Amino acid sequence: MNVSEALKMRKSTRAFLPKAVPQEVIKEILEDAKYAPSGVNMQPWHVCVVSGEKKRTLEQKVIEAFENGHKEVMDYAYYPSMWEEPYKSRRKETGLLMYSTLSISKEDKVRQMEQWKLNYRAFDAPVVLYFFIDASLEKGSYLDYGMFLQSIMLSCVEKGLATCPQAALAEFPSIVKQELDIEAHKLLLCGIALGYEDKEALINSYRTPRIAVSEFATFYS
């Protein structure tokens, strides 16, 4: 497999097989990803690898908080406070594509809510990676972190594993940090669900479109 193939094969997987991922494989993935670039070699990543009983306990606490109407403020603003075009339309299209794949109508709020809660279970992946960054760091380190996250996902593709990067896993930072005993000066960025894809699951046939290069690139000579 080459890099181009891995980039095109990577997708957000939302249904996983109940098959454990060996810890040694996860270590290999992190060994690969640690070579991602970062400004002045700061390497701003802090990863918590969560599985088994700890994963079940953590996700149950988050789901209980969600069902009880408890809301937290994320450690940073992932999405804009005001959606403008073309991002507003792309967001809407993504949601409609997913719900139409699952035959969930816009009136069916119950099924929509159940589908959303799967986010907090990391779509039942056997492993979740939680990512933290020091609060003292600036936007450049967030750019570095993105390259680190992509490196993890591409390494997973090579090893036959599936992933789903999730901002939703950072919606309850105080619960996650308390359960994982994370220092107060760390910000929770996101999570990645990791495991073996359930290729029979309908949701995994859902793919988001990509705009043409001509729409986002300008060439000068």
How many residues comprise the chain? Answer: 221
Number of domains in the chain: 1
pLDDT given at position 217: 97
Q: Is the residue at 213 inside a domain?
A: no
SS3 175: helix
Q: Is the residue at 46 inside a domain?
A: yes
Residue 183 CA to residue 84 CA, distance in Å, equals 36
Q: Is the residue at 58 inside a domain?
A: yes
**Is beta strand 46-51 parallel, antiparallel or unpaired with respect to 127-134?**
antiparallel
For residue 197, is pLDDT > 90?
yes
Q: Is the residue at 219 inside a domain?
A: no
Q: Is the residue at 215 inside a domain?
A: no
- CATH for 26: 3.40.109.10
Q: Is the residue at 38 inside a domain?
A: yes
**Percent of the chain at pLDDT exceeding 70:** 100
Segments forming the whole domain that contains residue 117: 3-207
pLDDT digit string, tens, across residues 145-158: 999 999 999 999 99
Q: Is the residue at 212 inside a domain?
A: no
pLDDT given at position 106: 82
pLDDT digit string, tens, across residues 35-54: 999 999 999 999 999 999 99
Kind plus residue range of the DSSP H or E element containing 111: helix 109-117
For residue 105, is pLDDT > 90?
no
Across 190-219, average pLDDT: 95
User: Can you give the pTM of this predicted structure?
Assistant: 0.95
For residue 167, is pLDDT > 90?
yes
Q: Is the residue at 150 inside a domain?
A: yes
